[in-house]
Structure 1
Amino acid sequence: MKSKECVNCGSTHFHKVEQGWKCDYCGTVYLKPQKGSSPQQSQNPDTYSKKRPRKVIIAISFVILLIIGSVIFILSNTTSYEPIDTQPANSQSKGAFPGEWTSEIYDSIKVATKHYDADSEKYSFEGGASYEELEKLVGPPDRVTSWEKEKYGMPPKSTATWDQTKDGEYANGSVTITYDKQTKMITDKSRY
């Protein structure tokens, strides 16, 4: 054999085996050339068997992490609202409320429960009614005040106020609803 160099590791040290020559360092086998062909390189079966399980384990780990991440994302973005259960409005309760508001609608609004996470120093809410559903029932508010940034661990919020009648005159009372800007969950309500 002429001075050859292993294509895998660059070694020049070989020993003779039954099929041809084997690299002393990486174990690559070079088959004896047949007439009219160039030397062939054989893949070491030990190298192949070591690489394949590693790739399979990495692929399975990736799939498992992808599934876990998807489940966490879905659960974190799922917001459950309490329905606004309204009874038919009676004319006696309508006098102290603006616009389409009634005492039944106001009383049926469920305010979210506030939770404080000491590790992240942030508040979260759950179980409140949906502001979007409320707005469909009573119409758009007369005024909205928004806070765009998180403050003292509280998420960005908006306060909607209804204080006018359908005719645009000021009503005898007003209703103020505070809601989380991201989830649109009602976090507070008040009536004057």
Structure 2
Amino acid sequence: MSGQRIGYARVSTSDQDTSIQVEQLQTAGCDRIFHENASGSSQNRTQLNEMLNFIRKGDTLVFTRIDRLARSLRDLQNLVHDFQQKGIAIKATEQPIDTNTAAGKAFLNMLGVFAEFETNIRKERQMEGIAKAKTSGVYKGRKPISEDVKKEVIRLHNDGVKKVEIIQLLGVGRTSVYNTLKECR
């Protein structure tokens, strides 16, 4: 019995959605599709982890482009190695990737190098833009939280509320909560 076609779709930012990728994966005949909104470098890719637990020997993992699966070459190589060990084939709908051939494996690695290069270039441009904005006085960073919010963070923490819950309850950033608690020690 041949395995299932398992799809994986991912977008990086909250203003994007996976609908176009999901349509392509449905057209490619995927039996089940995992999709999420998470940075490729994020360790919290819950749908990727669910897919990794679900996929079985003989299955084929299908995605649209290699950068939807992994952002770094190391991450890609680790995933591909794990898939090969489990007997799982890899296919992309927009790129000629077939890990059953030497050329397909080479092409996969080349695409991984270029995806990582693209990510690094984007980060450099972003940092250059921020530095330029700071120099011209346009970029001020995030507005600090008020003293009242800081007091509420401390009160909730002292009442035994977890940091993650404080972040959700007050709608403040993770760093603000951690820095506030660090200051009050």
TM-score by length of 2: 0.21
TM-score by length of 1: 0.21
Structure number with the higher helix fraction is 2
